[in-house]
Amino acid sequence: MCGIVGAVLTEGSVLEGLLGGLRVLEYRGYDSAGVALGLEGGVSIRRKAGRIEKLEDDLRAVPLADSPIGIGHTRWATHGPPTDENAHPHTDNQRRLALVHNGIIENHSELRAELEAEGVTFSSGTDTEALAHLLGRELDRSAPSLAEALRRALRLVHGYYAVAAMRFGDEKELVCARQGPPICVGVTPEGSYLGSDVLALIPHTRDIVFLEDGDVCELAPGRMEVTRIDGSVVQRASHHVSWEEADAGKGVYPHYMLKEIHEQPDVLARTAFSRIDEARGDVNLGHDELGDGGWSDALLQSIDRVQVAACGTALHAGYIARYLIEGLARIPVDVDYASEFRYRDPVLAPNTLALAISQSGETADTLAAQRLAREKGCTPAAICNVAGSTLVRESDAVVLTNAGPEIGVASTKAFVAQVIAAYLLAVRLGRARGVIDRVQGLELVRELRLLRPSLERLLSEDHVAEIKAVAGRHLNAKGFMFLGRGINYPVALEGALKLKEISYMHAEGYPAGEMKHGPIALIEPGMSTVVVNSRGLVADKARSNVEQVRARGGQVICVGSDPESLALADEAIEVPRSSEWLSPVLNVIPLQLLSYEIARLRGCDIDKPRNLAKSVTVE
């Protein structure tokens, strides 16, 4: 989704900082980029379809005059194709101000018709430009400040937006507002900064204010003021973010995705190890920044049902959470796509914990599902990676996953952290309700520690080389089927999603027991089937799938710790043994690497897969 940056400095030039911020936000996905700088009495705007490098080349060829105030944008086209004209920033007819926007202005056609009837000329096909002209109209109608012009304009707008605008008149004015997509701000004596996410701000400050829906924020070096759209002043607390600037880099890896795959042993440690309480055979779900995270014994004991809502990879973690919470804590769990849950008028039993799972904490459907569940009387809770995100702020209880920033569009380490967080939650629920005793609890938490060497083994050079070889042999498969059973069925779904996202190969994930109810018709020579099978309750069931696929001429890649399945398959990717509950954490690693290697060999743009955005903040 679009990226927004902005800054106003006491002195100096803002341009390099803006371009740096846009580069940091590249991972969100975009197809054009632009910047606007304030000049006394006006603005200068430069915008280009394509990558940020094109914009930078253009700025080098014809530089803009230095300015201490500016905004920048990476656009992901929605209204109007990705052309120079449609790229942001946009301005009013007198070029007094510049404006950038992420989201959708639903009544843009009506606004456009109204403004055109008043003599305004539009120069783009975007919904955003109407908002720039509305601001201009409010300034014509003598709004005393840009912030007031924005408040007045937003009262006329229906839709979802994060918006930033600036002008350099008598004063330097930088403003932003939020209704839906996130925007956050940071203030230092040298300058004030805004961005669509924390990563754009951490080069300047780690104390960050996340705007709420309906907020309008006015920024100046060393100060900020937040009002509601009606002009009433509100206070917003700042959150200290522990992420480092270096976390936003690729380190020694060619792609963010590969870096993040290799970070997973550390992610395990960060998500789990400091929470283990061996003496009590239990875990603490809290976090430095969140105290006990809201997980009081009273809450844990009062839950009769859990309703998980999430999207994509986070949903797959949610399916695993179902096996864990039902299996370990004996509480019934329902899991739904957040996008379906929000519109199906769900019937929710009393004492339901609404558990939203999200890396970003800003996914529009997940937030909407969570809000609906709260309205229906559920206790909203979250497993989330971003401390100050909307989801965290709107939840009564939170397990922070501590995976660090995830920049690769295809989620890897966030998934593993979500599964581990779900395991911790299941153990805590079981302990608080007396379903798991201290000795069992101790056994369960010790299993976590055993995972680290296994993860390291899976990421060793030899193991990666083995997967590269498998990738090379299946590069031109007609298609892929991923099968898994029990707690590894969602791992099969995740393997298929990873492969299609970054290699664009057709891949389907199924519960292994469903194969003979239809998907088996696809099996023929040239079709590759990945069977995820670890030792445990259903190992012999999934093993028969290996035989069925091979009997029909299909190629089987077996991933897991079940020796018989590995022996039967065409390709065996052995995964160290673990408890069955934690086997998804290990089994998903070869699937992530397999997708990565296939995509690399096929020459795909791994960190920026086509048509995908990292954070889906609109419907």
Which range binds ligand F6R by CB under 6 A, 123-131, 259-267, 308-316, 534-542?
A: 308-316
**Dihedral pair phi/psi, residue 526, rounded to 5°:** 100, -15
Which range binds ligand F6R by CB under 6 A, 46-54, 65-73, 77-85, 305-313?
A: 305-313
Which range binds ligand F6R by CB under 6 A, 53-61, 309-317, 369-377, 478-486?
A: 309-317
Instruction: Select 102 or 411, whichever has its Cβ closest to ligand F6R.
Output: 411
Q: What is the per-residue binding string for ligand F6R in 514-543, x denoting contact by CB under 6 A?
A: ------------------------------
- Kindly tell me which residue out of 313, 402, 503, 587 binds ligand F6R, with binding defined by CB under 6 A: 313
Which range binds ligand F6R by CB under 6 A, 59-67, 324-332, 356-364, 373-381?
A: 356-364
- Longest CA–CA separation in the chain, Å: 79
Q: Whole-angstrom Cα distance, residue 97 to residue 90?
A: 8
The rounded radius of gyration (Å) of the Cα atoms in the chain is 25
Partners of 291 in the β-ladder = 287
At 262, list the tokens.
Answer: 């290799």
Residues 211-230 that bind ligand F6R (CB under 6 A): none
Picking from 365, 355, 313, the residue whose alpha carbon sits closest to that of residue 335 is 355
How big is the CA angle at 455 (ends 454 and 456), to the nearest 5 degrees? Answer: 90
Residue type at position 233:
V
Number of residues that bind ligand F6R (CB under 6 A): 15
Q: Whole-angstrom Cα distance, residue 596 to residue 601?
A: 9
Q: Any contact of residue 410 with ligand F6R (CB under 6 A)?
A: yes
Which range binds ligand F6R by CB under 6 A, 25-33, 198-206, 312-320, 521-529?
A: 312-320
Alpha carbon separation from 504 to 32, 69, 467, 523, 600 (Å, rounded): 23, 41, 19, 20, 12
- Bridging pattern class, strands 42-49 and 215-220: unpaired
Which range binds ligand F6R by CB under 6 A, 311-319, 465-473, 523-531, 579-587?
A: 311-319
Residues 364-383 that bind ligand F6R (CB under 6 A): 366
**Residue 404 Cβ vs ligand F6R, minimum distance, rounded to whole Å:** 14
First to last CA, the chain: 11
- Kindly tell me which residue out of 74, 192, 307, 358 binds ligand F6R, with binding defined by CB under 6 A: 358
Picking from 320, 339, 267, the residue whose alpha carbon sits closest to that of residue 493 is 320
Q: Whole-angstrom Cα distance, residue 306 to residue 326?
A: 9
Give SS3 for 160. Answer: strand
The yes-or-no answer on residue 184 being catalytic is no
**Residue 489 Cβ vs ligand F6R, minimum distance, rounded to whole Å:** 17
Contact 411, 27 (CB under 8 A): no
Sign of the alpha-carbon torsion through 395, 238, 38, 56: negative
The yes-or-no answer on residue 2 being catalytic is yes
- Kindly tell me which residue out of 2, 14, 162, 616 binds ligand F6R, with binding defined by CB under 6 A: 616
Q: Any contact of residue 311 with ligand F6R (CB under 6 A)?
A: yes
Q: Any contact of residue 411 with ligand F6R (CB under 6 A)?
A: yes
Is the backbone peptide bond immediately before 89 cis, with ω within 30 degrees of 0? yes
Q: Which residue is nearest to ligand F6R (CB)?
A: 312
Q: Any contact of residue 405 with ligand F6R (CB under 6 A)?
A: no
- Kindly tell me which residue out of 359, 402, 555, 583 binds ligand F6R, with binding defined by CB under 6 A: 359
Q: Whole-angstrom Cα distance, residue 581 to residue 610?
A: 34
Picking from 394, 322, 310, 321, the residue whose alpha carbon sits closest to that of residue 359 is 310
Picking from 289, 284, 259, the residue whose alpha carbon sits closest to that of residue 274 is 284
Residues 483-502 that bind ligand F6R (CB under 6 A): 497, 501
**Residue 57 Cβ vs ligand F6R, minimum distance, rounded to whole Å:** 31
Q: Any contact of residue 312 with ligand F6R (CB under 6 A)?
A: yes
**Residue 408 Cβ vs ligand F6R, minimum distance, rounded to whole Å:** 8
Q: Whole-angstrom Cα distance, residue 31 to residue 51?
A: 7
Single out the catalytic residue among 413, 498, 500, 614. Answer: 614
Q: Whole-angstrom Cα distance, residue 77 to residue 618?
A: 13
**Residue 127 Cβ vs ligand F6R, minimum distance, rounded to whole Å:** 23
Instruction: Select 132 or 410, whichever has its Cβ closest to ligand F6R.
Output: 410
**Residue 313 Cβ vs ligand F6R, minimum distance, rounded to whole Å:** 3
Q: Any contact of residue 314 with ligand F6R (CB under 6 A)?
A: yes
Q: Any contact of residue 363 with ligand F6R (CB under 6 A)?
A: yes
Q: Any contact of residue 49 with ligand F6R (CB under 6 A)?
A: no
**Residue 338 Cβ vs ligand F6R, minimum distance, rounded to whole Å:** 8
For 487, which DSSP code?
A: G
Q: Whole-angstrom Cα distance, residue 91 to residue 586?
A: 52
Q: Any contact of residue 179 with ligand F6R (CB under 6 A)?
A: no
Residue type at position 349:
A
Site residues, ligand F6R (CB under 6 A): 311-314, 358-360, 363, 366, 410-411, 497, 501, 615-616
Catalytically annotated residues: 2, 614
